[in-house]
Amino acid sequence: MKRFDCGTLVPGCPWHTSAEDEAEVVRRSVEHLRTTHGETTIRESMIDNIKARIKDEEKA
């Protein structure tokens, strides 16, 4: 599983998402940035910043 914590990009945001593959994590993260943080333009650099912060989630 892959995990992205929005707070690593937007300080103070508690939102996070997990999915089997990186592409789904990025898709969900972009949607979150649009709906919650009001981002209207998602630049390639923003996608790169999301990807750089995706971590492998520890199995419980």
| Token pair of 9 as six digits | 């990009």
Q: What is the pLDDT of residue 60?
A: 53
Instruction: Collapse the DSSP code of 43 into the 3-class scheme (helix H, G, I; strand E, B; otherwise coil) and give the result.
Output: coil
pLDDT per residue as tens digits for the range 13-46: 999 999 999 999 999 999 999 999 999 999 999 9
Q: What is the pLDDT of residue 59?
A: 64
Give domain limits for the chain.
2-56
